[in-house]
């Protein structure tokens, strides 16, 4: 029983000591304002600064120990009144950028460079007045009654931050002054997303504004250092979605970023730095992020692959997929791990996607079409390789075949078109595209062979001409020698 009493006393002392420490510092300002029963004083008593022992003078200056108001608010005592504009953030930075104050005096491990980060962010730009920055510390954290971001009462708590951000970002008149191109319906879209619905139901773990855009380091989406810059988005989304422990309660996979990184889209974006390649938000959305359902995913793919989507929509596979409730594009191409659309996907080999559904017994017509289409595209490739080899051979021999080389581009184009035409799943249409490519390849083959034949004809002609010239030259030489000998003999006779 005595142990329990001692424990209780120690606990009470532990709970009261911070308050006693805070109140040990004289704060006559607060005493007067409490007597006036004003709102700031009421809020400040619940402020984290009050709990840490910071007096009103910490932000407003002056002498909080003075009994008389005139003395406490004297300019020689450093009284500055209510800070305005950038002076607000400068007042906050006096402590929050000072390691000795934050760590030694207040035992705080908060980052010390928020003000510098804020100055380099999009909110650190000058306002329309040109005299102050767009946002100050109090814009998001409030002036009095500031609490930890982990406190549900904080404006920057995950459950409140969307409303805090929307105070400006949902104000069309305000946003028009800074960036008319930015939408002002982000909050409404967010509320329709999976993140927004769960956040609205009290789930503080799901992504809110700061989760993706950052807190003090918010940058424009076009800034390469921004967390929502296209090539940075997979890492930003992966902060949560690749964390198995964090995502455990949501029962969704956590391998999406890994699969995406190895996909044709991921390699284009992350390795080749092709900003036209899709990132997470291109398929799932931005503020209205949601997993694409069976119908919408094809619409998403179709925004880039428009012709493929159009051909598929009029193909026999459309009705078949709908009747079986199969997703369209991803049934053959996959989800996050999308591979390059090579010829290996077509045909009836074990690795071809066609063979997943079609075989000689279950669907002989589709099986035959897949087999024939693969044979056609293989034949076109063979014709192209042969034509290219002949043209390259002719070029190496110094023959002029630039026109044939240019024509060969039409064969490559036909092969690319055939990969698109596959989505019509119409063998006749596919054959027509292939035939055009084969026709051009045959023509180029003939021109290449003709150039090589001409090369050898010239070589033989040159050889024969050289031989004739050599014989003639030799004959002339011998004739001249005979004439010279005859003249020499005649001179000796005389």
Answer yes or no: do 280 and 156 share one domain: yes
Give residue 102's pLDDT.
Answer: 65
> Which residue, 195, 175, 200, is CA-closest to 185?
175
Q: Are residues 408 and 485 in the same domain?
A: yes
3-state DSSP assignment of residue 92: helix
Measure the CA–CA gap between 69 and 82, rounded to whole angstroms: 15
CA-CA-CA-CA torsion sign (259, 262, 268, 271): positive
Mean pLDDT of 312-340: 89
DSSP string, 157-171: STTTHHHHHHHHHT-
Per-residue pLDDT at 110? 65
In a domain, 296, yes or no: no
Q: For 456-487, how does the pLDDT look when each residue is reduced to its tens digit (9 = 90+)? A: 988 888 888 888 898 888 888 888 888 888 78
Contact call for residues 440 and 407 (beta carbons, < 8 A): yes
Q: Which ranges of 78-178 would DSSP assign to H, the alpha helix?
A: 86-96, 99, 114-120, 137-141, 161-169, 172-176
| CA dist., res. 413 & res. 404, Å (int) | 15
407: in domain: yes
- Give phi and psi for 105, each to the nearest 5: -90, -35
Residue-wise pLDDT tens digits, 119-138: 889 999 999 888 899 999 99
CA separation, residue 95 to residues 85, 149, 175, 284 (Å): 18, 18, 31, 42
pLDDT, mean of residues 71-80: 87
Give the total number of structural domains in the chain: 2
* pLDDT for residue 494 is more than 80: no
pLDDT in tens, 147-164: 999 999 999 999 999 999
Residues 374 and 287 reside in one and the same domain: no
Residues 364, 247 share a domain:
no
Q: Is residue 113 part of a domain?
A: no
- DSSP at 155: T
- Where among 239, 263, 291 does a domain terminate? 291
The CA–CA distances, whole Å, from 262 to 258, 265, 327, 339 equal 7, 8, 22, 8
196-240 per-position pLDDT tens digit: 999 999 999 999 999 999 999 999 999 999 999 999 999 999 999
> Residue 396: is its pLDDT beyond 70?
yes
SS3 133: strand
The answer to whether residues 374 and 284 belong to one domain is no
How high is the pLDDT of residue 362? 79
How much is the mean pLDDT over the chain? 87
Report yes or no on 157 lying in a domain: yes
Is 25:55 a contact under the CB 8 Å cutoff? yes
pLDDT for 454 beyond 60:
yes
Residue range(s) defining the domain that contains residue 387: 357-493
Cα 12 to chain centroid, rounded: 52
Q: Answer with the one of 291, 313, 331 that is the final residue of a domain.
A: 291
Residue 338 lies in a domain: no
Arithmetic mean of pLDDT, 79-84: 90
Q: Tell me whether residue 293 is exposed, middle or buried, using C-beta atoms within 10 angstroms of its C-beta: 0 to 12, 13 to 18, 19 or more.
A: exposed
Q: Do 259 and 384 fall within a single domain?
A: no
Distance CA 264, CA 488 (A): 89
Assigned domain for 10 exists: no
Tell me the three state secondary structure of residue 83: coil
Terminal Cα distance for the chain, rounded: 161
């Amino acid at each position: 029983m005595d142990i329990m009493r001692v424990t209780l006393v120690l606990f009470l002392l532990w709970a009261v000591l911070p308050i006693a420490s805070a109140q040990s510092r004289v704060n006559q300002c607060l005493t007067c304002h409490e007597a006036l029963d004003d709102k700031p004083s009421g809020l400040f008593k619940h402020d984290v600064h009050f709990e840490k022992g910071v007096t009103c003078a910490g932000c407003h200056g002056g002498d909080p120990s003075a009994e008389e108001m005139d003395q406490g608010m004297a300019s020689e005592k450093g009284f500055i009144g209510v800070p305005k504009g950038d002076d607000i953030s400068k007042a906050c930075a006096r402590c929050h950028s000072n390691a000795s104050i934050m760590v030694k005096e207040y035992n705080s491990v908060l980052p010390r460079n928020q003000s510098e980060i804020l100055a380099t962010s999009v909110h650190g730009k000058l306002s329309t007045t040109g005299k102050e920055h767009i946002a100050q510390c109090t814009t998001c954290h409030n002036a009095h009654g500031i609490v930890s971001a982990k406190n549900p009462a904080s404006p920057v708590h995950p459950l409140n931050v969307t409303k805090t951000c929307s105070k400006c970002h949902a104000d069309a008149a305000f946003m028009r002054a800074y960036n008319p191109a930015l939408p002002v319906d982000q909050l409404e879209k967010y509320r329709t997303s999976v993140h927004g619905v769960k956040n609205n139901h009290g789930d503080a773990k799901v992504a809110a504004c700061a989760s993706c855009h950052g807190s003090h380091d918010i940058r424009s989406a076009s800034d390469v250092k921004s967390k929502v810059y296209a090539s940075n988005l997979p890492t930003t989304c992966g902060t949560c979605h690749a964390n198995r422990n964090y995502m455990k309660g949501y029962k969704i996979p956590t391998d999406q970023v890994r699969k995406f990184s190895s996909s044709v889209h991921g390699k284009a974006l992350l390795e080749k730095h092709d900003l036209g390649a899709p990132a997470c938000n291109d398929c799932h959305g931005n503020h209205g992020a949601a997993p694409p359902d069976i119908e919408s995913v094809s619409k998403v793919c179709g925004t880039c692959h428009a012709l493929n989507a159009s051909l598929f929509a009029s193909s026999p596979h459309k009705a078949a997929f709908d009747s079986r409730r199969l997703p369209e594009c991803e049934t053959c191409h996959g989800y996050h791990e999308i591979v390059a659309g090579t010829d290996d996907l077509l045909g009836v080999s074990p690795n071809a996607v066609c063979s997943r559904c079609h075989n000689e017994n279950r669907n002989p017509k589709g099986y035959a079409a897949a087999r024939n289409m693969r044979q056609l595209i293989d034949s076109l490739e063979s014709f192209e390789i042969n034509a290219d080899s002949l043209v390259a051979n002719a070029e190496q021999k110094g023959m002029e075949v630039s026109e044939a080389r240019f024509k060969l581009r039409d064969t490559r184009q036909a092969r690319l078109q055939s990969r698109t035409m596959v989505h019509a799943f119409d063998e006749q249409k596919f054959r027509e595209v292939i035939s055009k490519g084969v026709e051009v390849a045959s023509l180029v083959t003939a021109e290449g062979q003709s150039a090589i034949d001409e090369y050898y004809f010239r070589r033989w002609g040159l050889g024969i001409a050289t031989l004739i010239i050599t014989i003639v030259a030799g004959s002339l030489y011998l004739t001249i020698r005979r004439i010279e000998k005859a003249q020499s003999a005649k001179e000796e006779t005389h």
